[in-house]
Chains A and B, each alone.
Chain A
Amino acid sequence: MTNSIEEISKADYILAIGTNTTESHPIIGLEVKKAIRNGTGLAVADPRKTEVASMAHRHMQLKSGSDIALLNGLAHVIIEEGLYAKEFVEERTEDFEAFKETVSKYTPECVEEITGVPVDILKEVARNYAQAKNAPILYTMGITQHICGTHNVLAVANLSMLCGHIGKESSGVNPLRGQNNVQGACDMGALPNVFTAYQKVGMENVQAKYANAWNVDALPDKVGINIGQMMERAGSNVKAMYIMGENPVLSDPDSNHVAHALESLDFLVVQDIFLTETARLADVVLPATSFAEKDGTFTNTERRVQRVRKAIDPVGNAMPDWEIICNLSSVMGYPMNYSSAKDIFDEISTVTPSYAGMSYERLDNGGLQWPCPTEDHPGTPYLHKDKFARGLGKFSAVDYVPPAEQPDAEYPMILSTGRRHFHYHTGTMTRRTGTLDKYYNEESLEINEIDAQKLGINNGDKVKVTSRRGSVEVKACVGDTVPEGMVFTSFHFSEVAINKVTNSQVDPVSNIPEFKVCAVRVEKYSAKNVS
């Protein structure tokens, strides 16, 4: 997020696109609700009638995967009506003309054709967003989990720059991150192309800095491969894998392919707290500890680094992940002699400019938002004040492209996946709580009542969902949350391993799979169509 969570409730107007905020980020959802009570206007773009969509002053129920058309359409209206922030565009951005030319094609009528969002509503939202004093855009995986995810994000950034709604309190571009420390894992360089704080692999000075800090002669300078490429090359170029605290068999698209890839490795190590679907395939499983059994820090979606504190001893012979890594490294001839998580954090702050001013002493008095470059720096509640990180904000002319898979005669419906309020990710934790799993113990497939009627499906019937890659059986939940032609379910339940069905087509830049759109066939389950 370029803004802070608490800034949301002070906004004048909020544009939320592809975010089921109240279910996936409940506490941020509370901020949005608070904003509405304060009189803030809210527009939501989502194909589903989610709770946050039902709270919105305007719900733009766009067709799945048509986000760029919608965002360009909003920009079109704003430019056409002269509502854009001319001074901001002139002083702080570049490449506006090319962008202007591209969006000129996206007339409201043409956008209605592509997205299904009526001309009047598009114009109203465009005017309200542009004329607001401050206006954050919130988005999540509804924007990124498409083959055009990167372009979707650029289109969001374009809109915010066009209206000067960035670099201010309550104005910015705000991806709401879905996992407790996904921000931190990225900040820490658990990526194939960067070290900590996004310092690039291959840059001579960066390579030298880390080689020196880690006391090695040289470090590999060729960018590594990402998770999708690892799965593709497993068994051929990739011979052994080490997986810490992830369950790709259930979380990644095209599960059958992932499981096959992991099985074809010569050697697989999984470090986790449970014997997950992925751990079952391992040659060695190392028992790690939960967050309650270790010290450390997590970085939340607003870049706030906060303490995790050890409350109990490790269960059984389990060991905190950091201790396992230290021990393994020592066995492999590179001793890591950290006596505590604090020791490691001290090293992080010496090599990570955005964390340089942080320490456990400071964090004990409350979280700090990066960048926090010096010990007396208070942290940064919002980014891009006065100047963008790259200097001038760059407009990127991006065009709408349809999703990789379109419905056809054989697979006539669109499947989208996401999360439920009562569960989390692959359910490894939430389905072992004795509470959440009791209350919400079975997954269902949302299907529109008109489709259900056509297919002879009643609420609660078991249905079979089939794509080109696989099929699952699931209970139907008939209603109007999803529009006609669309079905939706979560990836929390291994009994409904929906990622056997999803498409592994990815965005070429970010490698994010297109979880939000794949073509499926839905039919009433009967003994005849058991596969």
Chain B
Amino acid sequence: MADITLTIDGKQVTVPQGSTVLEAAQKADIFIPTFCHDPELSRYGACRMCVVEIPGMRNLPASCVTEARDGMEVYTESPAVIEARKTILELLLANHPLDCLTCPKNGDCRLQDYCYYYGVGDTPFEGEHHEYEVEEENPFIVRDMNKCILCGKCVRACAEIQGRGVIDFAYRGVNTKVATIMDVPLSESECLFCGNCVAVCPVGALQEKGLRSQARTWEVEKVKTTCSYCGCGCNFDLNVKDNKVVGVTSCDGDVNGRALCVKGRFGYGFIHHPDRLTKPLIKKDGEFVEAEWDEALSLVAGKMGETKKEYGADSLSVLSSARCTNEENYLLQKFTRAVLGTNNIDHCARL
């Protein structure tokens, strides 16, 4: 496809034909705020936060759905644009709980970021506020529809990434709300709690229950790793606070992008479960007794050595693990072959 060149805030940028003005701006490292836009989801053009000024065009077009044209001139921070964005923010704040101090998404909220950026601290608009009950009855996701800005990303993520369409817009006008069929809680719907809606929510409407109740945004360190459940090999960020895994959030995975399943996103609690073994155990008279590493390893080494001496190396068998790393599987087969002296090694590949 042919390339086109346009000018954004005085800067020339060349993009493939068919690109949007927003994509062109991003290529030129020019910031345009967005709520409803997501590169993985269908173009929506609803929130109007990404409006820009393009001489010759009526009104201020939304850059996320406006196709870039050759020779186009675009202004992303003109006075008219800034005024429009401020008004959009003021309108959103008119029906949004201003509880940032206690909001678990504080520090990870686009509404908060843009209000800060444009200096919008309050709203001149007065009117009724939603008073929806916060949905907390499932163990995975908190839904606070009072904070929803109706950007529709969750609706599209559910339909277009997860392919389920569990949620959609319901009701009309000021009562418009993202809801399940018949507006039942998620746990009574077809929801599988993949949490991909939570991953795209730009505000506090959808939150990971465990993560957001244990750590504030800026307290966590994120460590990119690979999931330890099935064979898909999804990447995600472990969120760590005070040497504890407090949650999982999406990163851009090789295989999965930002998508995860319920086990990957919400199945990390076993890491710090009180049942975790923390000391070697040696069975004495039928009961397990805690031991130090030296004692346990000497006992194992001694018994394995004795057995080998008495019955030969093939009297020993080893099961390795499809759950452990490559490095560990490699070492265990090396140990089995080079140290124990047998090829009796297998793992549960067949189950």
Known: A252-B351, A292-B238, A344-B327. 8 other contacts (CB 8 A): A178-B351, A219-B337, A226-B346, A241-B318, A284-B299, A321-B324, A328-B335, A436-B267
Q: Is B329 an interface residue (CB 8 A)?
A: yes
CA A464 to CA B85, docked complex, whole Å: 65
Stretch at the interface among A185-193, A382-390, A523-531: A185-193
Query: Would A192 and B319 be within 8 Å (CB), given that A301-B232, A306-B233, A325-B332 are in contact?
Result: no
Q: In the complex, what distance in Å separates the CA atom of A436 from the CA atom of B209? A: 13
The residues of B that contact A309 with a CB separation of less than 8 Å are: 223-225
Give the segment of A25-33, A66-74, A159-167 that binds chain B: A25-33
Q: Would you call B161 an interface residue if the criterion is a C-beta within 8 Å of the partner chain's C-beta atoms?
A: yes
B279 touches A430 (CB 8 A): no
- Are the CB atoms of A439 and B138 closer together than 8 Å? yes
Contact check, A266 vs B270: say whether CB atoms are below 8 A apart. Answer: no
CB of A485 within 8 Å of the partner chain: no
Let me know if B326 and A224 touch, CB within 8 A. no
Beyond A180-B230, A185-B329, A191-B346, is A244–B276 a contact (Cβ under 8 Å)?
Answer: no
Q: Which residues of B contact A288 (CB under 8 A)?
A: 277
CB-based contact A187/B326 at 8 Å: yes
For window 195-230 of chain B, which residues contact chain A by CB distance below 8 Å? 209-210, 221, 223-230
In the assembled complex, the Cα of A321 lies from the Cα of B301 at a distance in Å of 16
Docked CA distance A186–B293 (Å) = 29
| Interface 9-mer from A57-65, A85-93, A270-278, A476-484 | A270-278
In the complex, how many angstroms separate the beta carbon of A435 from the nearest chain B beta carbon?
A: 4
* A240 engages B315 (CB within 8 Å): yes
Cβ proximity bits B301-337 to A, threshold 8 Å, 1 near / 0 not? 1011101001101111111111111111111111101
| Residues of B contacting A334 in the complex (Cβ-Cβ under 8 angstroms) | 335, 338-339
B107 at the binding interface (Cβ < 8 Å)? no
A463 in the interface, Cβ–Cβ < 8 Å?
no
A-B contacts, 25 listed (Cβ < 8 Å): A25-B232, A26-B232, A26-B261, A27-B256, A180-B230, A182-B231, A185-B321, A185-B322, A185-B326, A185-B349, A189-B345, A214-B338, A220-B341, A220-B343, A248-B319, A285-B280, A287-B277, A293-B271, A309-B223, A312-B240, A334-B339, A366-B254, A421-B262, A432-B275, A436-B262
Beyond A179-B323, A224-B342, A318-B278, whether A267 also contacts B303 by CB under 8 A is yes
Q: In whole angstroms, how far apart are the Cα atoms of A273 and B311 in the complex?
A: 30
Residues of chain B at interface, number, CB under 8 A: 108
CB distance from B321 to the nearest CB of A (A): 3
Pick from B226, B245, B337, B350 the residue with the most CB of A within 10 Å. B350
Asked whether, in the complex, the Cβ of B343 is within 8 Å of the Cβ of A25, the reply is: no
CB atoms of B350 and A297 under 8 A apart: no
Nearest CB in chain B to that of A266: its residue: B307
> Given that A237-B314, A297-B327 are contacting pairs, would A315 and B140 also be in contact in the complex, using a CB cutoff of 8 Å?
no
Interface members, chain A 424-467 (any B CB < 8 Å): 424-425, 428-430, 432-436, 438-439
| Interface residue? B148 (CB, 8 A) | no
The residue that B277 contacts in the complex, of A267, A318, A321, with Cβ under 8 A, is A318
A177 to B310 CA separation, bound complex (whole angstroms): 39
Nearest Cβ on chain A to B183's Cβ, whole angstroms? 20
With A299-B326, A307-B226 as known contacts, state yes or no: A325 contacts B261, CB within 8 Å: no
Among the stretches B16-24, B55-63, B174-182, B281-289, the one at the interface with A is: B281-289
How far does the alpha carbon of A26 sit from the alpha carbon of B270 in the complex, in Å?
Answer: 20
Query: What are the 8 closest A-B residue pairs judged by CB atoms, nearest first?
Result: A316-B278, A300-B233, A296-B325, A224-B343, A245-B321, A33-B163, A26-B261, A190-B320
Total interface residues on A, CB under 8 Å, equals 145
B194 proximal to A (CB < 8 A): yes
Within residues 239 to 276 of chain A, which ones have a CB less than 8 A from any CB in chain B?
Answer: 239-246, 248, 251-252, 266-267, 269, 272-275
Kindly state the separation between the CA atoms of A214 and B331 in the bound complex, as whole angstroms: 11
- A238-B344, A284-B282 are contacts. A308–B225 as well, Cβ < 8 Å? yes
- Which residues on B sit within 8 Å (CB–CB) of A284? 280-283, 296, 299-300
Stretch from A108-116, A120-128, A401-409, A507-515 contacting the other chain: A507-515
Known: A241-B317, A287-B279, A429-B267. A248 touches B348 (CB 8 A): yes
CA distance in complex: A181, B268 (Å)? 17
* Docked complex Cα distance between A297 and B338 (Å): 23
Q: Are A304 and B233 touching (Cβ within 8 A)? A: yes
Would you call A252 and B345 a contact (CB within 8 A)? no
Whether B337 and A25, one on each chain, are in contact in the complex, defined by CB atoms closer than 8 angstroms, is no
| Complex interface: chain B residues within 8 A of A311 (CB) | 221, 223, 225, 238, 240, 245
Known: A186-B349, A227-B319. A296 touches B327 (CB 8 A): yes
Among residues of A, the one whose C-beta sits closest to the C-beta of B274 is A432
Q: Which of B232, B288, B349 contacts A300 (CB 8 A)?
A: B232
Residues of B within 8 A of A291 (CB): 225-226, 228, 325
| Complex: A405 Cα to B71 Cα, angstroms | 74
Question: What string of 1s and 0s marks CB contacts (under 8 Å) between A322-345 and chain B?
Answer: 101111110111101010010011
Does B230 lie within 8 Å of A25, measured CB to CB? yes
A142 within 8 A of B: no
Choose from A27, A242, A367 the contact partner of B304 (Cβ within 8 Å): A242
Q: Are A315 and B278 in contact (CB under 8 A)?
A: yes
Q: How far is the CA of A342 from the CA of B341 in the complex (A)?
A: 26
B187 on interface, CB distance cutoff 8 Å:
yes
User: B243 to A313, Cβ gap below 8 A?
Assistant: yes
Q: Which listed residue, B244, B277, B283, B343, touches A272 by the CB 8 Å rule?
A: B277
> Does B335 lie within 8 Å of A184, measured CB to CB?
no
Question: Could you tell me if A244 and B279 are in contact, using CB atoms closer than 8 angstroms?
Answer: no
Interface assignment of B347: CB less than 8 Å from any CB of chain A? yes
- Contact status B275-A306, CB under 8 Å: no
In whole angstroms, what is the CA distance A489 to B338 when docked? 42
User: Of B194, B270, B310, B343, which contacts A290 at CB under 8 A?
Assistant: B270
Greatest chain B CB density within 10 A among A26, A34, A318, A424 is at: A26
Output the least CB separation between A243 and chain B (Å). Answer: 4
- Asked whether B193 is an interface residue with its Cβ less than 8 Å from the other chain, the reply is yes
Q: Which of B266, B298, B303 lies in contact with A240, CB distance below 8 A? A: B303
Q: Is A106 an interface residue (CB 8 A)?
A: no
- Shortest Cβ distance from A305 into chain B, in angstroms? 7
CB distance from B275 to the nearest CB of A (A): 5
The answer to whether B345 and A301 touch across the interface, beta carbons within 8 angstroms, is no
